[in-house]
Structure 1
Amino acid sequence: MQNAKDTFYTTLQARLAALNPERTMVVRGVTRPAVLVEENELPSDAVPVDTFRLRWTALKADGNRALPLVTFTCEIRYATDGNASNGGMDRGRLLAAMDAELTAAIEMAPRSTAKMNYAVAPPVALGTNVFWGDITFTATTVNDERLERVATVEVFSYQEAGEL
């Protein structure tokens, strides 16, 4: 299951970086594309803005097949305060830009990729694919001066023999 989550994350990160290479963040002194998986980062009360934060919220396995089909729900949370140079008055425009980037990355063909094992270097391709459905957006939430949104996408993968 971890391989499927890692594969979806790295695919989404690469697609978002290609769509907007300027959307970056600094984590522990390293600049990288502004996509992170919350369970893989150190806990923090601070909500990073202008960053896509992945959270795995649900898991379902259908074992009535030769290879069990695992369905994950991935929440993608993001927020913006707007640009300080504009007094934050562009925050709606910036949130809409993030909506468009995320939609393009999820809907980009193909909606699947080879499942990889990233626990080894170099990563190794496994025998099945990771694939995903449509993206669903919640209404915008206003939190003081910040605009926030949550999008969800269902991610699917067959669990291979011996895979954790």
Structure 2
Amino acid sequence: MQNAKDTFYLALRTRLAVINPERTVLLRGALRPGILVEEAEAPVAQLPCDIYVLRWLGLGADMELSCTMAAEECEILYSTCGTQAFGGLDRGRMLSAMDEEVFVMLQPFYTPKINYSAQPPINMGTQVFWDEPTFAPISILRDRLSRSIKVMVYSYQEQGEE
């Protein structure tokens, strides 16, 4: 499922760069689109504001098909404190903008599956696809508004894939 997870993340990252090139994050000295995979970064006490964080949850597989289909649930977390220019009073608008961005990032609900561990990356000939997202209610913690969405990500396992 690692190729599907990498493909999903990089598809969303590429789409975010087109949708909102201003949403960026500085990580390890590199400025990049404002989306990251939690398991690939150092642990933090509190997730950063104004970016998207992908968290992989449960894994399952359907082996009854002619080719094994794997599925893993992805939770996308994001939060905002608003902008300094408005003293944080625009945090509701900022969260709504992030809601819309993530919904647009997820469309269409598929992308070609790529093996990014190879150089150059290899198109695997199948698709990674996902369900429509399920939005959780807004969470409020002091000056921070947060939301998470969950989406099931599917892919067929290729020959020799783990």
Deviations 1:108-160 (A, max 9, x none): 23x21111111112111113110111011000000111000000111110011
5+ residue gaps, structure 2: none
Name the residue aligned to 1:136: 134
- What are structure 1's unaligned runs of at least 5 residues? none
* Structure 1 stretches of 4+ moved >3 Å: none
SS class of match (1:45): coil
Q: TM-score, normalised by structure 2?
A: 0.97
Partner Cα separation in structure 2 for residue 66 and residue 47 of structure 1: 41
- Taking the aligned partners of 2:30 and 2:148, their CA distance within structure 1 comes to 26
The one-letter code of the counterpart of 1:138 is: A
* 1:53 matches 2:76: no
- The CA distance in 2 between the partners of 1:6 and 1:123, in whole Å, is 11
2:122 and 2:21 map into 1 onto residues whose CA distance is 26
Corresponding position: 1:32 with 2:32 = yes
Q: Which residue matches 2:111?
A: 113
Q: Which residue of 1 aligns with 2:63?
A: 63
Q: Could you give the per-residue CA deviations for residues 16-67 of structure 1, whole angstroms, max 9, x where no partner exists? A: 1110000001001110000000001111213210010000111110111121
Percent identity, aligned pairs only, is: 48
**Which amino acid in structure 2 is aligned with residue 5 of structure 1?**
K
Number of residues of Structure 1 aligned to a counterpart in Structure 2: 162
Give the match for residue 125 of structure 1: 123
